[in-house]
Amino acid sequence: MTADTPTRRTVLTTGVAVAGAVALAACGTDSGSSGSSGGAAPAPAPSGTTVAALADIPVGQCKSVQVNGQQAIVARPTETTAACFSAICTHQGCTVNPDGGKLSCPCHGSVFNALTGAVEKGPASTPLPSIPVKVDGSNVVTA
């Protein structure tokens, strides 16, 4: 063997090091991606931030809003309660649209319950992430 010929040990340790680096890179996150991990709840807004006027949401309906700069849906299940969800579909990260008592994803056809965020029709299999809100007087505010 010449001095320039790699040994089997050198080849094996180099291969293991490269495989380890690839595995570590795969574990990283891509915060700019809206891939299949879409649907993460927005960063919490400060407690007490107004999301919507209660009078603007008919009982049993919902509307699109922004919470802490992120698309969201605020719903009014009863006269005195409200619920809020991320508007980002948990399937591929598209923004869902209010459609009566449903939330419809225009990208792949997933349908969510507008009052609970539960999946009613796939391909999404995970509910929309909840955003904590409460009714405070005549407003829906972050909890």
Q: Looking at per-residue confidence, does 101 or 135 come out higher? A: 135
H helix intervals, 4-98 = 8-27
CA neighbor of 103 nearest in space, from 140, 63, 133, 43: 63
How confident is the model at residue 30, as a pLDDT?
36
- What residue has token string 């090091």? 17
pLDDT in tens, 16-40: 444 433 333 333 333 333 333 444 5
54 close to 37: Cβ distance less than 8 angstroms: no
37-89 pLDDT, tens digit each: 444 555 666 788 899 999 999 999 999 999 989 999 999 999 999 999 999 99
Q: Judge whether residue 125 has pLDDT over 80.
A: yes
pLDDT of residue 99: 87
pLDDT of residue 67: 93
Supply the pLDDT for residue 106: 94
Our CA angle for 23, 33, 113, nearest 5°, is 115
- C-alpha–C-alpha distance, residues 130 and 84, integer Å: 6
Buried b (16+ CB within 10 A) or exposed e, 34-64: eeeebbebbeebeeeeebbebeebeeebbbe
| Residue/partner pairs of 16-21 with CB below 8 Å, 24 or more apart | none
Instruction: Give this prediction's pTM.
Output: 0.67
Task: Flag whether pLDDT at 2 surpasses 50.
Answer: yes
